[in-house]
């Protein structure tokens, strides 16, 4: 088998240890193997890097196990060509696993070019992504804490959520703080409403009639304090994210022009993609590995990820996996009827188009038709208006139509 990397290393990363297997070309072309175990402390990881560099190692591969790979990657990325390998891909290649043999197997696959690295953004983009993901988790925690406040109010038979859209908004917050101090008169509480909420005074008085005990007041006070702490942390994170995103300000502004895309969503997309694109794109075509998030995540922006595969069978198999079993829409560009039919059967989706955009299956430039869309596994898809039953069909533009 062809050797692509004469001096390479496979790493089996654990929480406390890293097993490194270094392969080097020996006499007669046979590989010489040297295996060492290091702790994951910074000093030992740097010692491992020095050992590999002294041996002339050029490529290092490791399995993406949890978050244990991150400190190893951070320390090695400036000194070697690194490949972060998806664990599922390693399992797909028949071979050895367990302990020291695991690192050796990764090294052997790397030596012959049988592993492909996952997409890893540059360090600044990884840092930005980590900040945004942390802020997202805090926003979710804030929503969870708001739900806890509503449960506390329900326990006191106070139906504020039935009248106020946001129980921790300006009006709701004023009422909650008054409840915490011991105010229980519905009229007094309803008089604290602001803006449009003042028009709902009668409904508010009825909703605020309840029985709140001391422990519920204590819970409300702690829950509001928690929300205040979360708000302050989220604000600091947003300021840091905004500062780090200045190079992408123009791209983020264009993303926000898409309906449904706000500032935080635009920041999230930029962080997850990890790419900087030219101004005013109409369409972005990205040549990416199959592991890239653009391939596996449904897009709401004009990005077309292209994955290179060896043949049409691999392409069809990958397309089935990427479609996630939604069985909604797929397309193919081919003049081979057997290939078109094979993919149509494999995809088994409601809308399947050959040699045209997907919307051709709805009658726009193709041979499909427009109808109701309520009967596929995702709640969408072509149906008959009379029976609302799902009808699968293939639209082959410029050639034939299979019903």
The pLDDT tens digits for 267-315 are 666 666 665 544 445 566 778 888 877 788 776 556 778 899 999 999 9
355: left (phi over 0), alpha (psi -120 to 50) or beta: left
What mean pLDDT comes out for the span 156-180? 91
Instruction: Supply the pTM of this predicted model.
Output: 0.60
pLDDT category, 217, cuts 50, 70, 90? very high
CATH code for the part of the protein at 124-244: 1.10.287
- Which of 38-42, 277-281, 357-361 is predicted most confidently? 38-42
Q: Which of 390, 397, 295 is nearest to 353 (CA)?
A: 397
Kindly state the average pLDDT of the residues 95-104. Answer: 64
Report how far apart, in Å, the C-alpha atoms of 40 and of each of 51, 299, 325 are.
Answer: 15, 38, 40
Using pLDDT thresholds of 50, 70 and 90, give the confidence band for residue 182.
very high
- CATH architecture assigned to 8-111: 2-Layer Sandwich (3.30)
Q: Is 333 exposed, middle or buried (0-12, 13-18, 19+ CB in 10 A)?
A: exposed
Helix (H, G, I), strand (E, B) or coil at 378: coil
Structure tokens of 263? 């500032």
- In whole angstroms, give the CA distance from residue 179 to residue 191: 13
**Distance between CA atoms of 358 and 325, rounded to whole angstroms?**
17
* pLDDT for 348 beyond 90: no
Query: How big is the chain by its Cα radius of gyration, in Å?
Result: 29
Q: What percent of the chain has pLDDT over 90?
A: 35
Q: Where is average pLDDT lowest: 97-106, 113-122, 227-236, 273-282?
A: 273-282
Structure tokens at 306: 């292209």
Confidence at 129, pLDDT banded by 50, 70, 90: confident
Domain 309-402 belongs in CATH node 3.40.309.10: yes
pLDDT tier for residue 403 given thresholds of 50, 70 and 90: very low
Chain centre to alpha carbon of residue 187: 47
Task: Flag whether pLDDT at 91 surpasses 70.
Answer: no
Q: How far apart are CA 369 and CA 385, in angstroms?
A: 11
pLDDT at residue 242 in the model? 85
Selected residue with higher pLDDT from 380 and 65: 65
pLDDT confidence of residue 272: 66
Residue 178 clears pLDDT 90, i.e. is over it: yes
Q: Exposure of 277 by Cβ count < 10 A (0-12 exposed, 13-18 middle, 19+ buried)?
A: middle
Beta-ladder partners of 62: 11, 84
In our burial notation (b when 16+ CB lie closer than 10 A, e otherwise), range 254-270 reads: ebeeeeebeebebbbbb
Q: pLDDT exceeding 70 applies to what percent of the chain? A: 76
What's the confidence (pLDDT) of residue 63? Answer: 85
**Burial class for 224, CB neighbours closer than 10 Å (0-12, 13-18, 19+):** middle
pLDDT given for residue 294 in this prediction: 77
Domain limits of the chain? 8-111, 124-244, 309-402
Instruction: Write the DSSP symbol of residue 119.
Output: P
CA dist 173 to 205, 206, 221, Å? 16, 18, 11
Report, as an integer, the average pLDDT of 132-150.
93
pLDDT of residue 363: 63
Residue 358 reports pLDDT greater than 80: no
pLDDT computed for residue 45 by the predictor: 94
Q: Contact, 163 vs 200, CB < 8 A?
A: yes
Per-residue pLDDT at 372: 45
Asked whether the predicted pLDDT for residue 322 surpasses 70, the reply is yes
């Amino acid at each position: 088998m062809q050797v692509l990397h004469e001096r390479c290393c496979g790493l089996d990363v654990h929480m406390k240890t890293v097993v490194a297997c270094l392969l080097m070309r020996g006499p007669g072309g046979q590989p010489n193997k040297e295996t060492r175990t290091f702790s994951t402390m910074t000093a030992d990881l740097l010692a491992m890097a020095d050992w590999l560099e002294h041996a002339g190692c050029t490529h290092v591969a490791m399995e993406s196990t949890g978050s244990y790979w991150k400190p190893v990657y951070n320390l090695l990325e400036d000194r070697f060509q690194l490949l972060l390998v998806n664990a599922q891909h390693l399992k797909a290649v028949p071979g050895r696993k367990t302990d020291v043999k695991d690192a050796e197997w990764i090294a052997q696959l790397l030596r012959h070019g049988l592993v492909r690295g996952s997409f890893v953004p540059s360090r600044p983009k990884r840092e930005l992504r980590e900040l945004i993901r942390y802020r997202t988790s805090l926003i979710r925690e804030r929503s969870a804490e708001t739900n806890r406040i509503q449960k506390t109010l329900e326990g006191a038979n106070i139906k504020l959520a039935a009248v106020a859209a946001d129980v921790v908004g300006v009006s709701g917050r004023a009422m909650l703080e008054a409840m915490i101090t011991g105010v229980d008169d519905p009229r007094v509480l309803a008089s604290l409403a602001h803006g449009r909420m003042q028009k709902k005074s009668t409904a508010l008085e009825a909703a605020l009639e309840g029985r709140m005990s001391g422990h519920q007041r204590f819970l409300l006070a702690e829950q509001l304090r928690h929300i205040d702490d979360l708000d302050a942390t989220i604000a600091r994170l947003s300021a840091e994210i905004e500062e780090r995103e200045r190079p992408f300000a123009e791209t983020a502004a264009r993303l926000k022009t898409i309906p449904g895309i706000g500032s935080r969503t635009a920041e999230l997309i930029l962080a997850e993609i990890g790419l900087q694109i030219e101004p005013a794109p109409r369409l972005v075509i990205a040549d990416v590995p199959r592991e890239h998030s653009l391939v596996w995540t449904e897009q709401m922006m004009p990005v077309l990820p292209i994955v290179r595969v060896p043949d049409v069978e691999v392409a069809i198999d990958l397309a089935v996996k990427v479609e996630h079993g939604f069985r909604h829409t797929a397309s193919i560009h081919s003049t081979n009827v057997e290939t078109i039919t094979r993919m149509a059967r494999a995809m088994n989706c409601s809308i399947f188009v050959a040699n045209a955009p997907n919307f051709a299956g709805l009658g726009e430039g193709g041979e499909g038709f427009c109808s109701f869309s309520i009967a596929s596994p995702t709640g969408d898809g072509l149906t008959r208006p009379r029976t609302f039953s799902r009808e699968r069909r293939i639209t082959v533009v410029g050639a034939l139509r299979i019903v």
